[in-house]
Amino acid sequence: MDSTFKTAAILIARLIFGGVFVMAATFKFLDMAATAGYIASAGFPFPLFLAWVAAIFETALAIALLSGAFFSEAALLAAAYVLFLALAFHGPSHWTGNQVEFGFFIDHFTFIAGLLFAAVHGPGEKLALRNSVFERTGASFTAP
């Protein structure tokens, strides 16, 4: 496959990943009270605190995914976070009487699949700030 195409595809994927987290964080920062209310409606304690933690975490994920710094680690953390969101806010307890929630739940798994693929293949050779725990320890998540 043409390396220009690969580079473009990786860049577009990283922009999508990063963009999703930029949008999520932005919506939280713009209406923290609404975010806290949504978190409270799911039964979590300290909803305002958790809303701030989520917004800051999503901002950090966006920076890592867009810059490529700690990319594989960020992609793995993002996949775990999206799984948590799927279960906590759209999981089986939310399906009763609302099939739309099941659709939201399933949609999270396509995003998780992309994040796991990205974690394994990395940020792209020419497109990243390289700073990874895996690189410093000699461990590798990159394909041969």
Task: Give mean pLDDT in consecutive 10-residue pieces for the chain, a chain of 144 residues.
Answer: 84 95 98 98 96 98 95 97 95 84 92 96 75 52 45
Nearest to 22 by CA among 50, 76, 61, 68: 61
Residue 95 CB neighbour total at 10 angstroms: 15
Task: Give pLDDT, residue 132.
Answer: 53
Alpha-carbon span 102 to 109, nearest angstrom: 11
Task: Give pLDDT, residue 101.
Answer: 87
Residues 6+ apart with CB under 8 A from 28: 35, 51, 54, 55, 58
Alpha-carbon span 67 to 114, nearest angstrom: 17
Residue 110 structure tokens: 């396509």
Domain range for 82 = 3-137
What tens digit of pLDDT does each residue of 3-24 get? 888 888 999 999 999 999 999 9
Task: Give pLDDT, residue 130.
Answer: 58
Is 142 domain-assigned? no
Is 123 domain-assigned? yes
Alpha-carbon span 108 to 126, nearest angstrom: 29
Is 143 domain-assigned? no
Is 49 domain-assigned? yes
Task: Give pLDDT, residue 3.
Answer: 84
Q: How many domains in the chain?
A: 1
Is 35 domain-assigned? yes
